[in-house]
Structure 1
């Protein structure tokens, strides 16, 4: 082989190696595998609706094989446990809601640490958690509920979408301050609790899943567990207005296992910001009485840490013990 043949052959081999390497990079570019987004609640709730909008968006606009799977139960801690154990390759992600990350860890031992075992990718929606009754209920306002419960200890029955979740604990704290005894009825999801309410099996529900029923005129809101007023209902009291120990709203976002690579976080951050501009997202927000709110990964992570600290301190003051 003469010198020119050697140079030509060497160049061809180098180019082939470069192309092969490039091909491997392309083949491995994220997301090259199906993505599962775990929802910690039963199908039919507000969190489920927003999770499906995100999955549909990346499936139709980015050609990602994304699917939502449901893991309800155990105070919404089953899905986070699976996410914490997943490989940090972006194939297993999940819906964030406040309870399993900043409330339940203060009440029971869990197979995950909310401050160490997750990557908090981004927040995209906010829903005021409401305490509500059937439209034809004899309980016309929050003050009426408190009076009834004082006059009839243990007879007022209520439920929520997650046992020992943020909504549950906030209402328990409010009732403790009022010195009343009620009967809490556990459910695995907001849709189950609403079905029980509409069927007359309980008197009230505390959840963020009231949007469709409010629009249909089948429920009436009596109070909000948070700090912010609901648009169109300025007279509806908040737990902050009422001076109760815990006041919190429902934030929804996307999480993954710890040590998720920066490029995967960036990919989903972009997808979230795209989704938030779509008509589909706006329609879903309206249906569940939610509002758009965006937090990037850094702000989201700081928010979780701060809420975890504040709620933990409040629950300790209230006497809630870890079991």
Structure 2
């Protein structure tokens, strides 16, 4: 009799545990604050758009969403923190192209952009602009390319730092058009742009936000934008394709990701919140003001983009190595 009573007791205890686990699994998401880690300092475009995403998600899901800046090592510190976080939807990553670029330019990266993350959505894409002085080598991309071909070794292009998207955009142009030109790296976009005005270098690739003041003052001119469509903030600047250089798309993506293994309903809840908000004119205006285009693709589309982007950077770095003889 005692054995039967104990067996019944254990069965009831096991049933209670199962019911508790089922209830825990069925708990609505989110049931506590969400944290979004930005792997860069506050104030930049990534941080601005991350806070916009946080406000959007918090409003839609009725829970606080906190943005935490964890900068350092070209974004690797913050990205590793999210890659190692629990895949429960409460620690997310909002980052830039460094996610897919770093593995090609940094020897030891503490995460795998494909294996360690699940995409929620790419919020926006900010293409590179090719800028130069208004009085240098004509007013068009073809005239600049012609100058480079006619004056081998005389053309210099600056960048915000070796290995970044602006540097690689210059290398891509160099390879695609066979121009003999020299890369001059700077510590940041501001000095790279300032020295064009000073005449120390002739051109650079940068984002609209970085060049906005100089462009507005007509001290610099944008010759082309490296995207499929023209930028709404610069409607008169043609794309590279319009100027005769197809498939020249390079820039900075801004996207939201979760640790790999995050449940699909959680991913969809986050994506749905941003997708719904993206129809708002105010939402679109804020992104356009950053010199970017609204994307808001599906989680599956974003995952595919990440895989392709990793491959694109890897291929380009190998091409640059071959050209330089390394």
TM-score range, shorter chain: 0.7 to 0.9
Change in Cα spacing, 1:57 to 1:78, as seen in structure 2 (3 Å) is: same
Change (3 A) 1:179 1:78: farther
Instruction: Name the CA distance, whole Å, in 1 between partners of 2:247 and 2:278.
Output: 33
C-alpha displacement at 1:118, in angstroms?
0.7
**Matches of 2:172 and 2:215, distance apart in 1:** 30
Structure-1 residue corresponding to 2:261: 259
The corresponding residue for 1:299 is: 301
Whole-Å Cα distance in 2 between the matches of residues 216 and 229 of structure 1? 16
Q: Which residue of 2 aligns with 1:6?
A: none
Partner of 2:73: 74
* Structure 2 counterpart SS, 1:43: coil
- Structure 2 partner of 1:159: 159
Unpaired stretches in structure 1, ≥5 consecutive residues? 1-12
Asked if the contact 1:59/1:66 (under 8 Å) is kept, the reply is yes
2:49 paired residue number: 50
Partner of 1:197: 193
Give a deviation string over 1:239-274, Cα, whole Å, max 9, x none: 785548863243322111111111220221111112
Correspondences of 1:187-266 after superposition (within 5 Å): 187=187, 192-194=188-190, 197-198=193-194, 204-210=203-209, 213=212, 217-218=216-217, 219-231=220-232, 233=235, 236-238=238-240, 241=243, 243=245, 247-266=249-268
Say whether the 8 Å CA contact 2:115–2:260 is kept in structure 1: yes
Per-residue deviation, residues 264-316 of structure 1 (Å, max 9, x unmatched): 20221111112212343122123123222221111111222233334433443
TM-superposed CA distance for 1:37, in Å, is 1.7
1:105 to 103, 106, 118: 103
Gaps of 5+ in 2: 1-11
Match of 1:8 in 2: none
From the superposition, tell whether residues 212 and 131 of structure 1 become closer, same or farther in structure 2 (CA, over 3 Å).
closer
Aligned partners of 2:72, 2:214: CA distance in 1, in Å? Answer: 28
Q: Aligned with 2:308: secondary structure? A: helix
Superposition RMSD in Å: 4.0
Cα 1:163–1:33 shift into 2, 3 Å? farther
- Rounded to whole Å, the distance in 2 between the matches of 1:310 and 1:155 is 26
Cα distance in structure 1, aligned partners of 2:55 and 2:189: 27
What is the aligned residue count? 299
Question: Per the alignment, do residues 215 and 318 of structure 1 end up closer, same or farther by CA in structure 2, a change over 3 Å counting?
Answer: closer
TM-score, length-normalised on structure 1? Answer: 0.73
The DSSP-based 3-state class of the residue aligned with 2:286 is helix
Mark the CA change 1:235 to 1:23 in structure 2 (over 3 Å): closer, same or farther: closer
- Greater shift in the superposed pair: 62-71 or 265-274: 62-71
Instruction: State the match for 2:84 in structure 1.
Output: 85
Compare 70-79 and 207-216 and name the one that shifted more.
207-216
Structure 1 residue 115, shift from structure 2 partner: 1.7
> What's the CA shift string for 1:210-258, capped at 9, x where partnerless?
2782697145322223444334545535178554886324332211111
Match of 2:9 in 1: none
Q: 1:28 to 1:73 in 2, by over 3 A?
A: same
- 1:73 positional shift: 4.5
Shift of 1:70: 2.8
1:91-112 C-alpha deviation (Å, 9 max, x unpaired): 22112433431x3322333111
CA distance in 2: counterparts of 1:37 and 1:183, whole angstroms = 36
